[in-house]
Every structure is written in structure tokens, then in C-alpha cells.
């Protein structure tokens, strides 16, 4: 991952379980708001487990953050209880 999140910015997912929870939460919010949106990035299946500098998980988490930010932009005009208060305030910033 790239650096530390700015103050007030939610931290990126630390593992696949957190990533999948983020996808589920954002997808539910988009569905509840009746907003169509592209699918999230697919979960990697090719990690070799050797701790590579450019691990597929790093790319996945970065792509997932872009997907989350784009989803929040789509929801900007459609408040949703699926987002925690910090995410909701940022979606409407």
C-alpha cells in the first residue's frame, strides 16, 4: 500500500476479510440507493506467498480503494445508512 492515510481518512483494508466487508457494505449501499455501479476488482488468485515487493494484494487493495472512492462519488447525492459516519461525511464532502 502507499503510505499512511491522511487524518480523517479511513484506513485501507488490512486483509482480505476487511476488503470483502468493504465491498459488501458499499455494494449494499449502492443497491439500497438504487444506483448501478461497476463490479469491484476481483480478489487475486495468483499470490505466490513470498512477500514480493509488487504483490498482487497490494495492487488489489489499491484498486479497491479507487473503486470505493468512485462508489462514494456515485452516492454523493444519495445518503445511505450503510456507510459509517466518516465515510458518509466524505461521500458528501
Residues 6+ apart with CB under 8 A from 84: 10
Q: Where are the domains positioned within the chain?
A: 16-33+53-91
pLDDT tens-place string over residues 8-52:
666 778 889 999 999 998 999 899 888 889 999 999 999 898 988
- Which pTM was predicted? 0.73
Amino acid at each position: 500500500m502507499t503510505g499512511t492515510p491522511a487524518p480523517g481518512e479511513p484506513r485501507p483494508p488490512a486483509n482480505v476479510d476487511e476488503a470483502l466487508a468493504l465491498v459488501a457494505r458499499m455494494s449494499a449501499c449502492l443497491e439500497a440507493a438504487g444506483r448501478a455501479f461497476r463490479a469491484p476488482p476481483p480478489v487475486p488468485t495468483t499470490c505466490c506467498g513470498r512477500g514480493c515487493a509488487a504483490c498482487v494484494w497490494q495492487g488489489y487493495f489499491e484498486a479497491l480503494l479507487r473503486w470505493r472512492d468512485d462508489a462514494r462519488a456515485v452516492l454523493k447525492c444519495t445518503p445511505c445508512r450503510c456507510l459509517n459516519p466518516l465515510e458518509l461525511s466524505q461521500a458528501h464532502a
